[in-house]
Amino acid sequence: MAFYYEEPCHTFNEYLLVPGYSSAECTPDNVSLKTPITKFKKGEEPAITMNIPMTSAIMQSVSNDTLAVALAKEGGISFIYGSQTIEQETAMIAKVKAYKAGFVTSDSNIKPDQTLADILELKQQTGHSTVAVTNDGTGTGKLLGVVSSRDYRVSRMSVDTKVSTFMTPIEKVIYAKKGATLSECNDIIWANKLNSLPVVDKDGCLCYFVFRKDYSEHKENVGELLDPQKRYVVGAGINTRDYETRVPALLAAGADILCIDSSEGYSEWQKRTIAWIRGKYGDKVKVGAGNVIDGDGFRFLAECGADFVKIGIGGGSICITRETKGIGRGQATAVIEVAKERDKYYKETGIYVPICSDGGIVYDHHVTLALAMGADFVMLGRYFSRFDESPTNKVNINGQYMKEYWGEGSNRARNWQRYDLGGAKKLSFEEGVDSYVPYAGSLHDNVQTTLNKVRSTMCNCGALTIAELQQKAKLTLVSSTSIVEGGAHDVLLKDSNNQVK
């Protein structure tokens, strides 16, 4: 006879936090959101600690190099998606590591025989106002000139105007030679009142750009997450098929931490993958595993040697695994049970293995609930897909700007490795959908709003750290009617023009 759980599983939306005593010192400014992402022994410090408890999902529509840089500036880690070629993924990792070093590989490039229309289209795609003009239109071609917003006026020029006629030619471009230090490049920028400085090699080919704004941002982003070489920390997704070739390449490109991308992690395939990494690199290489939804799955991966364990099956907004396969569990229940097993494992072994809640988060306060229930950090897909920095297109749907968002199990992504059970190398059926999400603007503004809410709620619970929140939190299940009571009700709402909705 099958095993039956006596209690139904629950989602985050079915819980509320009950306030605790707040002292005078318990203010949002005093709250620390630092959290471990890698396992550590009792009395020791983790190899990697995040400054905020947020990571981005290993998805094509979420985590590329642009989002990775933006999230690292806030203090979190993005996991570059692995459902691409090894060369493509390593190139993204390399871009992130080069960005903080100040030398940025150009991704806005054009040929001299293209037109103003092409410039405008490129600016729309990338959001960048500085475009390199190279002989072959690549970021490593021979630099022929530079186009900035000061070089053209749309109202006075035909969109058919050739780039070569209005670009600033190389003869008038101030640039640095490859080998110049970042400090020397910044001195050139400040001395010549430049916004950007190209760096070229001995053959005149473009290598990098150095931007004035990066220097300013470094001073502003006090919580940014850096490696020992002062570069941004970045993660990378791997699978259980080509890890023997993918992992060495990702590490060579500079990846700080890896994560096995799989819909279900309680498997021989993840055990083999972790064993190979441990056999070749020992504990020096950090790798997370998952996903699991109960204590047995956590203990299995912890004993395999995972640095952190991801929790969640079927809870993502674009995931239909529960509908198609009938497996999964309410995210709140899964986090609570895995957290209990994590604590039990820590008492038995003295090794603390961080856990990550992946999926099921709809509202900002769900992040706080996940942390209170025991998660050390959360992984978010839909949340980050809405921002400027995500890799998808912004489109106008019925007068509202939206961003494209699709699951790794969708026909569009066809990430069969994520759902691999050792059979044929193909996606037999869809476990994700292709969709749109409302466009929300910049990552920085939204993340800061979310974290302000988390800090405020933690103060309501009398906690100044995530560990203290987990000790002091009091959680209550809510009824369907109390959920209704929790929102605006029994009133007529006014819109921004004071009109009744």
Three-state SS at 424: coil
3-state secondary structure of 112: coil
DSSP 244-282: HHHHHHHHHHT-SEEEE--S---SHHHHHHHHHHHHHHT
Q: Catalytic pick from 299, 418, 459, 461?
A: 418
| Residue of 355, 354, 376, 378 whose CA lies nearest to 365 | 378
Contact between residue 379 and residue 356 where contact means Cβ atoms under 8 Å apart: yes
The CA-atom distances, in angstroms, between 324 and each of 149, 321, 342 are 50, 5, 30
Q: Which residues pair with 199 in a beta bridge?
A: 176, 208
For 236, the 3-state DSSP assignment is strand
Instruction: Record the tokens describing residue 203, joined without a space.
Output: 């053959």
Radius of gyration, alpha carbons of the chain? 24
CA separation (Å) from 232 to 45, 71, 501?
20, 9, 46
Tell me what percent of the chain is helix, strand and coil, each rounded to the nearest 5. 35, 20, 45
- In angstroms, the CA 421 to CA 414 distance is 15
Q: Which one of 259, 319, 356, 459 is the catalytic residue?
A: 319
Output the six-digit token pair for 139.
């970021």
Question: In 3D, which of 434, 458, 454 has the Cα closest to residue 446?
Answer: 454
CB 99 within 8 A of CB 64: no
Contact 482, 20 (CB under 8 A): no
For the record, the structure tokens of 422 come out as 């050792």
**How far is it, in rounded angstroms, from Cα 75 to Cα 49?**
9
Cβ-proximal residues to 472 (8 Å cutoff; 6+ apart), any chain:
20, 461, 462, 463
What string of DSSP letters covers 293-343? -SHHHHHHHHHHT-SEEEE-SS-STTB-HHHHH-----HHHHHHHHHHHHH
Structure-token match 């993340």, residue found: 447
Quickly count: other Cβ atoms within 10 Å of residue 198's Cβ. Answer: 22
Reduced to 3 states (helix: H, G, I; strand: E, B; else coil), residue 350 is coil
Parallel, antiparallel, or unpaired for β 235-238 and 206-211? unpaired
Active site residue 418: yes
Q: Which residues are catalytic?
A: 319, 418
